């Protein structure tokens, strides 16, 4: 799904209206509005892209996969960690993030920082899920399931056309 744009029309610096552009119809309405403006008055129009947060379907798939990864690593390799811990490990491994050192007053040193999937856009989350899927197949010998309902919600028409 293309990201929506936010339009703000201002007259003499006062905010007059905010409108979301999501469809061709929205764009056509905006164009009609702009064509009908009285240009003898100053106008300011700005367009900004809105951030599409990860979808519920992406989040459900991620945590379904994290549970399967945890079970697989426990049963196949004897690794005892929760799905939340594996999530932390795999995000740190697969998604570059700024890591910085922290030292406690007693001199103990830690390296902290990782990407937070809850802050990912839909595009970032799709990329991360694809990286996770490939990593599990290649390095953990785990083929993750691709439930039709979640895959359709995540990929929509793009996936249907690619098949």
64 with 97, same domain: the answer is yes
pLDDT mean across residues, the chain = 82
112 with 80, same domain: the answer is yes
Q: Over 90: is that where the pLDDT of 27 sits?
A: no
Number of domains in the chain: 2
Report the C-alpha gap between 52 and 90 in whole angstroms: 23
9 with 75, same domain: the answer is no
Confidence of residue 140 (pLDDT cuts 50, 70, 90): very high
The model scores a pTM over 0.85: no
37 with 73, same domain: the answer is no
Q: Position of tokens 């922290």?
A: 102
158 against 38, higher pLDDT:
38
Confidence of residue 2 (pLDDT cuts 50, 70, 90): very low
pLDDT, average across residues 79-105: 92
Q: Which of 4-18, 28-42, 128-142 has the lowest mean pLDDT?
A: 4-18
Q: Which residues contact 158 (CB under 8 A, 6 or more apart)?
A: none
Report the C-alpha gap between 67 and 86 in whole angstroms: 9
8 against 138, higher pLDDT:
138
Q: Over 80: is that where the pLDDT of 80 sits?
A: yes
Instruction: Name the residue range of residue 109's domain.
Output: 56-162
């Amino acid at each position: 799904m293309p990201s929506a744009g936010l339009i703000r029309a201002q007259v003499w610096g006062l905010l007059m209206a905010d409108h979301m552009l999501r469809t061709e119809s929205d764009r056509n309405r905006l164009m009609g509005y702009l064509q009908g403006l009285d240009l003898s008055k100053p106008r300011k129009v700005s367009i900004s892209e809105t951030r599409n947060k990860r979808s519920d379907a992406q989040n459900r798939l991620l945590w379904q996969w994290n549970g399967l990864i945890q079970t697989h690593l426990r049963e196949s390799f004897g690794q005892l960690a929760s799905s939340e811990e594996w999530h932390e490990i795999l995000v740190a491994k697969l998604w570059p993030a700024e890591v910085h050192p922290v030292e406690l007053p007693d001199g103990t040193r830690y390296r902290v920082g990782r990407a937070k999937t809850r802050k990912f856009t839909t595009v970032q989350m799709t990329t991360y899920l694809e990286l996770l899927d490939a990593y599990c197949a290649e390095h953990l010998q785990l083929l993750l399931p691709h439930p039709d309902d979640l895959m359709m919600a995540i990929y929509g028409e793009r996936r249907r056309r690619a098949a």
